[in-house]
Structure 1
């Protein structure tokens, strides 16, 4: 923990936040010039909450690559005898671009996307140089099919120990490179000079205010996802009820501070404009669990069903691979009666559930030997129409059987969109399950109650992607002010490709840190003239 005298000094670069984007910015800044700049990171959260939302993630980074030839040199968890048992398809720049546009309905900024995609592989290589330990994501992004590990969904890299490991790796590197971190230090104002350029920040720590002079400020303070009032204002009524998945300290303060200087707000501030997911209904409501972190995620729905409190399905659970649906299905759950749903599987479906999300120590389970009994037990947990619940499952099973009759050679493959559907010439459901439609007939049956967990908001600030400088309404740069991480708007709308948020934080954090260091260097030279 930094002591108070740190706040009475001048700094070359001040970075607001301690999450993955902030730490990446710091590493970039401190390695971009010779001699290195004096870098201070300030975070209003106490040290035990360090790491922002990055701490609560699975630590997955989406990157373009050309298959194992690009990936194997990065990872430390693949032995030589495993290499020829892995099917990992190329994920090209075009694939990444297409996914970004496809899941956002074509609204994602082409300019921001060009930087994100184009530098994605380089940034994970760069982070490896600072000690980030990459793993091939066997547990989350691959299924074992016929003795081979089949990867899917374009998201193949993760960090050992997930978000905890990521933040530890980056924090260790930041400290090794001489950066200073001051926790419980809330920024209350962005300071400007007579020309309107940012020249530092005002902070409050221990009841006392300090003015930190710095020619470069980088904001990596997250969105407003932990602020129920702002969620209701921008995302719509009901969003104040969502569970906060990560840090409770991302309350939108720095967005407001930047806007007070004329910064332009861009991106998705519409109802549901956020990353949210199916989340354990028994989880803490106002902030994540520092031990369980991402384990409250409940993403096993593609091989099961989700029914609302009225016993009805409300999404096509198999419309796409999980990486492209979980961020919008969280919103769909919140829109249901009482903001809850029940995920269900039979004995066969339960075999595909990841232990880290569904083991007994993590989630309360509702078990039964028949669908009728399962419905009765769910009624004790908020299901209001058990008979409709039973009919929904029976109709689904009948539709699955009709499809199998027409396609007797169809085979389940959870690593691809396998076409196992509920739709056939004999029978069609009003709401299809387009892939992975396996029957729910083998006892014992399992249900898990879920709600919506909000991760981060999509609306943010406009930046120049070249240097991550914050832009005004007229398109000019606010001199001395940069932005990275969740505060950047314009990339994601309504949905996002899993893992692209952390990658964006790395790409634009790296650019912000470099630009901030160069500006500080130039400022020192000007002072000497």
Structure 2
């Protein structure tokens, strides 16, 4: 294990690797990246994502140079509108109820396109248009929706493979099975001077000039989830790495008096396969345990009652908060329900028989009986809910015969009409559930990452203490940076944030190292 480096990066996810690459490109050498996980768990939560990056752009022509999966013939059959910086900013403000830190939000939006291009050009990240997740084929054309159009080839697995290859090319040393225990500071200056780490059961100190923390939140720690997110959150399933347990966050706040920031009672949580492992993700199945097809059907709890408007917005603006809604239901579970029309549009990677238990039936009554075997207690209410829903859908169709189903836009097909309106509407994509075979899938809450973190200076991601001063040489990015997301987030913003602020932190750390090296050289020359 090296005992000295210039810049120490803690965390092997997208944010950490972005920071290390940025520092190397800015002229720093002797960069070390560590992670407490074994090498087999490299990549943090980034590994478990679909690799989606939200970025402002000028439309299809602006994105085509970035991607490797569109030929000329396919391009002519794509409808993909520009997603401007104003669009991105408005979405961020809307889904966070205006609570997102303004300066962090501006940086995220304004540098989103440049960060993606940088990852492609300098990290070799392979981007693609997200046909499978963010487009529907309508009348022979691919119609993209929701402002989220880019993903990485092979999802999070491919993203981390590309990052690790880039780290090797740029001379970044990587060590696993090495846990950061605490950040050390020079008692005379207060600047960071090293990190106490534990490896192979032994504690030792790695001295350095700068530390970039990208070690994740506390989503895999049931005690901290209950403490900060509230009662019942110890029962949430962990979507990703089991190693994001929050000790470094707690250490920075307690020992360095770093200022907490952001939504500490908030998190990203999704509809997740109820039969998935509870305490960590599966690196083979990865993101396929996500169950995001609810806009095409309905969700009911164990009493047979709906509890959210499944069509209130595009899925990538609701999926990160609907996990919480599921956890709040009795027993913390729900069933997603479709007929043959909706089921035909579900993504195979999430709903194929190999990855999920598909409950099928020829009638709604039979479906209720089968769901009851898995915990549904309100069988009669389940049937009644479907009957009421269908009746409301039929009446809306009767009053609005010209409105057509279109999953690529907010189509206005709803349950609300002048003569029939549900107390809890379905605002868009309200297909009737009446053509067998019927399908149900049992889901629970899967937590992805926590929103609470540390306050940083937006320009550099430098950590700020309780008095508002920077802690020299300390930076926080990724999930450890607080203040950007509150209650919800626009899908794909997390990976973009890691790249944008990881890049900023890497450059700032490299400048600090160069400045100190120049200062030491001046002292030596003066002594001579």
Bin for the TM-score computed over the shorter chain: over 0.9
Distance 1:451 1:82 in 2: 37
4+ runs deviating over 2 angstroms: none
Pairing of 1:212-361 with structure 2 (within 5 A): 212-259=206-253, 260-270=255-265, 273-361=266-354
Distance 1:111 1:180 in 2: 32
Aligned residue in 2 for 1:112: 104
Aligned residue in 1 for 2:467: 474
Aligned residue in 2 for 1:22: 16
Aligned residue in 1 for 2:526: none
Deviation of 1:68 after TM superposition, in Å, equals: 1.3
The worse-fitting range, judged by mean Cα deviation, of 470-479 and 445-454 is 470-479
Pairing of 1:42-441 with structure 2 (within 5 A): 42-129=34-121, 130-194=123-187, 195-259=189-253, 260-270=255-265, 273-441=266-434
In structure 1, runs of 5+ residues without a counterpart are none
Deviation of 1:324 after TM superposition, in Å, equals: 0.3
Aligned with 1:32 (options 26, 35, 39): 26
Distance 1:128 1:257 in 2: 35
Aligned residue in 2 for 1:524: 517
- Asked if the contact 2:182–2:252 (Cα under 8 Å) also holds between the matched residues in 1, the reply is no
Deviation of 1:97 after TM superposition, in Å, equals: 0.3
Distance 2:314 2:176 in 1: 39
Aligned residue in 2 for 1:493: 486
- Asked if the contact 2:317–2:489 (Cα under 8 Å) also holds between the matched residues in 1, the reply is yes
- Asked if the contact 1:37–1:521 (Cα under 8 Å) also holds between the matched residues in 2, the reply is no
Q: CA RMSD in A?
A: 0.7
SS at match of 2:76: helix
The worse-fitting range, judged by mean Cα deviation, of 453-462 and 187-196 is 187-196
- Normalised to the residue count of structure 2, the TM-score between the two structures is 0.98
SS at match of 1:72: helix
Per-residue CA deviations over 1:184-203 (Å, capped at 9, x if unaligned) read 00111101002211111010
Distance 1:158 1:51 in 2: 16
Distance 1:408 1:189 in 2: 64
SS at match of 2:52: coil
Distance 1:418 1:455 in 2: 30
Deviation of 1:486 after TM superposition, in Å, equals: 0.6
SS at match of 2:9: strand
In structure 2, runs of 5+ residues without a counterpart are 524-528
Deviation of 1:352 after TM superposition, in Å, equals: 0.7
The worse-fitting range, judged by mean Cα deviation, of 518-527 and 498-507 is 518-527
Deviation of 1:314 after TM superposition, in Å, equals: 0.1
SS at match of 2:180: strand
Per-residue CA deviations over 1:353-377 (Å, capped at 9, x if unaligned) read 0000000000011110000000001
Distance 2:372 2:202 in 1: 53
Distance 1:207 1:90 in 2: 53
- Normalised to the residue count of structure 1, the TM-score between the two structures is 0.97
Deviation of 1:290 after TM superposition, in Å, equals: 0.5
